[in-house]
Amino acid sequence: MTSDKVLIGKIVNAHGIKGDVKVKSFTMNPADVCSYTPLLKSDDSELKIKLRSAGNSDVIIAHIDGVNDRTTAEGLKGTEIFTLKSSIIDEDSDEILLSDLIGFKILNNDSKEIGEVVDILNYGAGDILEIQLYGREKTALLSYNENSIIDQNNEQGTLKIDTEHLLAD
C-alpha cells in the first residue's frame, strides 16, 4: 500500500485544550485534507478527522476522533497524513500528481535526453523541478511552469524544456 499513498498534510501543533490540532495542508484547497478517505498515518493506521475551521492559510484546525485533550494532541505533532492516490485521481484519468514527475526524463530544445527529475521543491513561490543532469555531479533547478516546459508527455514520462530557464552551475 505504501507506494499508493500520497502525503496530503502534517499535524504541526495542538490547538486549545479539547484535543484539536493544527494541520498544515498540502492540498490545493487546505480544507480538502479532511475530505479524503481513507486518511492514514505512515504506519497505515486510519485517522478520522473533522474540520473545525479553515482560514486564509494552508493551516487548518481539525479534530481527530479519540483525541480529547491537549496532551494527546501534542503527542501527534509531526504526524504525516496520507490518503490513497486513487482517492485523489480517477484511475482512468490521464492526470498525474506533481510527485509523479519524479523519474521523468528531461529533453532539451532538440529533444535530446539530458537528465532526470529527482525531486519537486516548493518554497512558496511555485513548484521547482530538481534535475540530475547527465554527466554532472550537481543538480539543476527549473521552475515548473508554462515558460519552462515546452511539452509534457505523461505516457512516455518525458518533459521537453526550454534550457534557457535551467538554473545550473
Report the CATH number of the 2-88 domain. Answer: 2.40.30.60
Across residues 118-146, what is the average pLDDT? Answer: 91
Can you give the pLDDT at residue 88? Answer: 83
Statement: residue 169 has pLDDT above 70: no
Across residues 151-155, what is the average pLDDT? Answer: 93
What value does the mean pLDDT of the chain take? 91
Q: Where are the domains of the chain?
A: 2-88, 98-165
Can you give the pLDDT at residue 107? Answer: 96
* CA–centroid distance for 12 within its chain: 16
- What are the pLDDT digits (tens) for 39-59? 999 999 999 999 999 988 899
Top pLDDT among 72 and 95 is at 72
Dig out the grid coordinates for 48 from the structure. 478520522
Show the DSSP H helices in 14-162 as ranges.
70-75, 85-88
Quickly tell me which residue has 501534542 as its cell: 74
Phi/psi-derived region of residue 78, left when phi > 0, alpha when psi is between -120 and 50, beta in every other case: left
- What are the pLDDT digits (tens) for 65-93? 999 999 999 999 999 999 998 888 777 66
Nearest of 99, 129, 104, 100 to residue 116 by alpha carbon: 104
Can you give the pLDDT at residue 2? Answer: 39
Q: Give the C-alpha separation, 53 to 117, whole Å.
A: 36
| Fold adopted by 98-165 | SH3 type barrels. (2.30.30)
